[in-house]
């Protein structure tokens, strides 16, 4: 009887320890981040598996808007521990659903970059091109905001704002780093919107 109790107690302790460790890692891996959310965390996990390559992320505070609402899309960079000295962003949007604000379509307040040598829009095809750089010796490392795009919702329907990105291409969105030569962008996260 005593032998069975000891075996039962040992099994109970082992099962409890496994459950505790599992709960700890679940809470550690899946805790909520205030800005980025579960979908973005999954993209970041995939990027870590892709040899610590950078990730560009589009985030909207809302995913549903009403016609004539202001739509703000924030652009983030996760450098995945690389030292980044510049980005070229090529973004697409549907001009039937979204119109860039005329006053200032791209706001760099609080940006991780301090130079923006190029910011062009082609409203006819819905394309935005932005270049951002750091000053010499001030490479960025970590997760930070590049800037914000300002749109006006034009008509009902579903639409996206997305990065133009093809791995290995140099004429699309890319991230340059002192850590690795060439384009280190591995993944992008686009944003889907619904307008009522």
Q: What is the mean pLDDT of residues 151-178?
A: 92
Q: What is the mean pLDDT of residues 146-151?
A: 96
Q: What is the mean pLDDT of residues 180-191?
A: 89
Q: Is residue 15 part of a domain?
A: no
User: What pLDDT is attached to residue 44?
Assistant: 67
Q: How far is CA 193 from CA 13, 73, 128, 184, in A?
A: 49, 10, 18, 28
CATH code, domain with 138: 2.60.40.680
Number of separate domains in the chain = 1
Q: Is residue 105 part of a domain?
A: yes
Q: Is residue 76 part of a domain?
A: yes
Q: How confident is the model at residue 165 (pLDDT cuts 50, 70, 90)?
A: very high
CA distance 19 to 75: 39
Q: Is residue 27 part of a domain?
A: no
User: What pLDDT is attached to residue 2?
Assistant: 74
Torsional class of 11: left (φ above 0), alpha (ψ -120 to 50), beta (otherwise) = alpha
User: What pLDDT is attached to residue 33?
Assistant: 46
Q: Is residue 102 part of a domain?
A: yes
Q: Give me the DSSP letters along 31-96.
A: PPPTTTHHHHHHHHHHHHHTTS-EEEEEEES-SEE-TT-EEEEEEEEE-TT--EEEEEEEEEE-TT
Q: Is residue 41 part of a domain?
A: no
pTM passes above 0.85? no
Q: Is the pLDDT of residue 96 over 90?
A: yes
User: What pLDDT is attached to residue 178?
Assistant: 75
User: What pLDDT is attached to residue 48?
Assistant: 59
Could you report the per-residue pLDDT of 18-59, keeping only the tens digit for each?
877 776 656 555 554 445 667 776 666 665 555 568 999 999
107: DSSP letter: E
User: What pLDDT is attached to residue 176?
Assistant: 92
Q: What is the mean pLDDT of residues 64-72?
A: 95
* Mean per-residue pLDDT over the chain, rounded: 86
Q: Is residue 34 part of a domain?
A: no
Range of 160's domain? 52-195
CA distance 54 to 176: 9
Strand partners, 59: 74
Q: Is residue 62 part of a domain?
A: yes
């Amino acid at each position: 009887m005593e032998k069975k109790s000891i075996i039962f107690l040992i099994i109970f302790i082992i099962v409890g320890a496994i459950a505790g460790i599992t709960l700890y890692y679940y809470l550690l891996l899946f805790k909520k981040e205030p800005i980025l959310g579960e979908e973005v965390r999954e993209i970041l996990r995939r990027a870590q598996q892709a040899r610590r390559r950078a990730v560009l992320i589009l985030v909207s505070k809302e995913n549903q808007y009403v016609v004539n609402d202001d739509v703000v899309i924030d652009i983030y960079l996760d450098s995945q521990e690389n030292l980044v000295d510049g980005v070229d962003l090529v973004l697409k949007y549907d001009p039937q659903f979204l119109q860039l604000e005329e006053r200032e379509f791209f706001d760099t307040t609080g940006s991780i970059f301090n130079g923006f040598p190029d910011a062009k829009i082609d409203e006819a095809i819905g394309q935005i091109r932005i270049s951002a750089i750091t000053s010499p010796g001030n490479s960025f490392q970590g997760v930070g905001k590049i800037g914000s795009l300002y749109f006006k919702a034009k008509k009902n329907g579903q639409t996206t704002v997305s990065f133009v990105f093809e791995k290995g291409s140099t004429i699309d969105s890319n991230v340059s780093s002192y850590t690795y030569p060439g384009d280190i962008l591995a993944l992008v996260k686009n944003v889907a919107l619904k307008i009522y």
